[in-house]
Chains A and B, each alone.
Chain A
Amino acid sequence: MRNSFKKVYLLISVLMVVMLAACSEDVTNATSEKSGGPVSAKIGVISYMTGPGAAYGEAITNGFNLALDEINEKGDVKIELIIEDSAGKQDQALTVAQKLMSSDDIVALLGPTLSTEMNVVGPEADINGIPIMGTSTTAAGIPQIGEYVFRNSIPESLAIPAALEKAVNKYGAKKVAILYGNDDLFTQSGFDTMKAEAEKMGLEILTIETFQKGQSDYNAQLTKIKDLQPDLILASALYNEGAVIMDQARKMGIDLPFVGGNGYNSPQVIEIAGEASEGLIVATPWFGEKDDPKVQDFVKKYETEYGHKPDQFAAQAYDALYIMAEGLKNAGVADRDALRDALAEIKDLDGILGKFSFDEDGDVIMEPTVLIIKDGTFQLFE
């Protein structure tokens, strides 16, 4: 009896070792390829590829790969990407980042996906003197981690005021009600920005209501807001809750426009709330319907390659690799310090998100586009 158990355990452990070996194989396969002429460099990518947020990582790596093919085809620089999975976890992000940093021929890092991951990976990269650029990290304070830390995703502190200002001017709003999710760091920081901005603009805040993730009944909060008769509703919510809030609000007879943050900005809102989503105003770096050949070209290519329309994360990743390529081209050599200096100098680079520059911290200078949901699609808000 005992013996047969032992045999089973042995079999299992052998199987596990074999599986482990199989896993490591494709990671170490990348060999360096030196060629004369254009600068050739390796860039490490840390992305959220498995777990509940895997959709983000997928969009981001798709964006990178699309840009990679184009850049290498053009031939000004030659880039090779080495993609690692962070699984959305801080410790795993740090481990793979250290692995990438320790390889001398990797000149820069792209990612990680989440701001919380960047908070541990960023300082490490800064100490090691390797440029790192987040393409989806929107929390406050990321580029201030160090001089090697950059990002090309517009922070909430840029997006929300842009949307709010336009909405207030258009509707002549004086009184607002704020609604936010108080159990999520992202929606909470969005709320802080909203409140500060509303106070700065001299708006009267009638009430501040909260809700929790996954809540299904918002009628109590909305009835209260309806009774106070604001001119505008500011909602810092993720699209899942946000869409349901709008649905219940419209049913109740609240026809006011909503101003939301980055998390609210998703085509999913239209899908979930349908007609009720009309009147949602968000500011975004990415507008896929923009009348710009560059943008339309990217959308078309992405759709043929991956079978669906690109989102903000794919677009930001796509532009990020172009920024890296520009930096490499200007630096002239595949060197970490030279690349950092070249990146910091980038000004008015034309991308699919618009004209892009870094400020002195390595943060984004960019004019976000303000959109409104009208007739079932996101349209420019004038």
Chain B
Amino acid sequence: MLLEQIINGITLGSIYAIVALGFTLVFGVLGIINMAHGEIFMIGAFIGVLITSVLGLPLWIAFIAAIGVTVILGYMLERIALRPLRGKQGVSHLAPLISTIGVSILLENLSHHIFGAGNHPFRHSFAQIQFQIGSITVYLVQILIFVISITLMVVLSYWLSKTKAGKALRATAENLETASLLGVNTKRTITTTVILASALGGIAGILVGMAFNSVNPQMGLSMGLKGLAIIILGGMGNVKGAMAGGLLLGLAETMIVAYGDSGYRDAVAFITIIFILLLRPQGIFGKNTAEAGR
């Protein structure tokens, strides 16, 4: 029981972590919360359902299609909802937040309109592959999710710290104007970031579809709120923090259900977050200065 629950918790936590990675990237560079991220994640999940269940195509095509669609969505989000507001005089710093909320409402209702309100099953034989270790059933999907999330984190950390584009991104995050003066193409860097974050959302969407077999237009909202909580917990704009925070929240939620009362699942999880923030206001991995991310 304990081992099975830990596996459940890690699976959930890994998905949270991938969603949070997308949040944290955008926050790190732009200093805004992308409220549409949850909905982009949801669209990714729907693309997965469409490709595998409706069209009957193999899983890898679903991944490519979901990444493709979410990349386009990310690009449009940046071009239509974010860029016009950037650097304009008199635009409140809350304006991009509001405009991403608008995009999230649009996407949710759009998919409600196209796919209907109900749950859509994710029928794929890959999701059924399982093996027994003693009395515990482990699904290949669960391992895959964990591996993908760790890989993404490692690749992202490497990319951010070692590659030129990653360095440009961090420079932009540090100070947009200075980076621009030093020859960084900040426009392109920001677009890359939003696109990258959206693609991460798309991947997470497919993984949720595979793991839990439930995809619906409302799934973006709760996932988005969890992702938000995680980046606050892990430290805003911090890749390792998003990963650790995600796993922590997933495990905490699962353990509360397993050994406590499932009615307190969300309550205890968020109380934990408040408690950690009281001890470490900057988050687990956050830097000590409040403005470090900008």
Contact = CB atoms under 8 A, between A and B. Distances in A.
Contact of A216 (B212, B258, B265): B212
A272 B222 contact: no
Contacts of A215: 222
Nearest to B223: A216
B121 A210 contact: no
A274 B221 CA distance: 27
Interface stretch (B3-11, B156-164, B194-202): B3-11
Contacts of B120: 272
B213 A244 contact: yes
Given A240-B119, A241-B119, 14 more contacts: A209-B257, A210-B263, A214-B218, A217-B8, A217-B211, A220-B5, A220-B254, A220-B258, A243-B119, A243-B121, A244-B214, A247-B214, A248-B212, A268-B118
A247 B119 CA distance: 12
B44 to A, nearest CB: 14
A221 interface: yes
Interface string A215-244: 111111101100100000000000111011
Q: Which of A209, A220, A239 has the most CB of B within 10 A?
A: A220
Interface string B1-19: 1001100110110000000
A221 B260 CA distance: 11
Contacts of A214: 216, 218-219, 221-222
B256 to A, nearest CB: 8
Contacts of A248: 212-213
B5 A221 contact: no
Given A52-B117, A272-B120, A216 B8 contact: no
Q: Which of B5, B118, B214, B254 has the most CB of A within 10 A?
A: B214
Contacts of B9: 220
A293 interface: no
A302 interface: no
A210 B262 contact: yes
Contacts of A253: 137
B294 interface: no
A45 B172 CA distance: 62
Contacts of B212: 216-219, 244, 248
A274 B5 CA distance: 26
B211 to A, nearest CB: 7
A144 interface: no
B253 to A, nearest CB: 7
Bin chain A's interface residue count.
20 to 34
A211 interface: yes
B48 to A, nearest CB: 13
Contacts of A273: 121
B123 interface: yes
Interface string B231-268: 00000000000000000000001100110011101100
B264 to A, nearest CB: 9
A182 interface: yes
A209 B262 contact: yes
A252 interface: yes
A294 B209 CA distance: 43
Nearest to A227: B1
Interface string A244-277: 1001100111000000000000001001111000
8 contacts: A216-B219, A217-B8, A219-B212, A223-B1, A223-B5, A253-B137, A272-B120, A272-B121
B257 A220 contact: yes
A240 B8 contact: no
Interface string A190-223: 0000000000000000000111111111111101
B208 interface: yes
B186 to A, nearest CB: 36
B39 to A, nearest CB: 13
Interface string B51-88: 00000000000000000000000000000000000000
A216 B123 contact: no
Contact of A223 (B4, B123, B211): B4
A223 B258 contact: yes
Contacts of B4: 223
B57 to A, nearest CB: 19
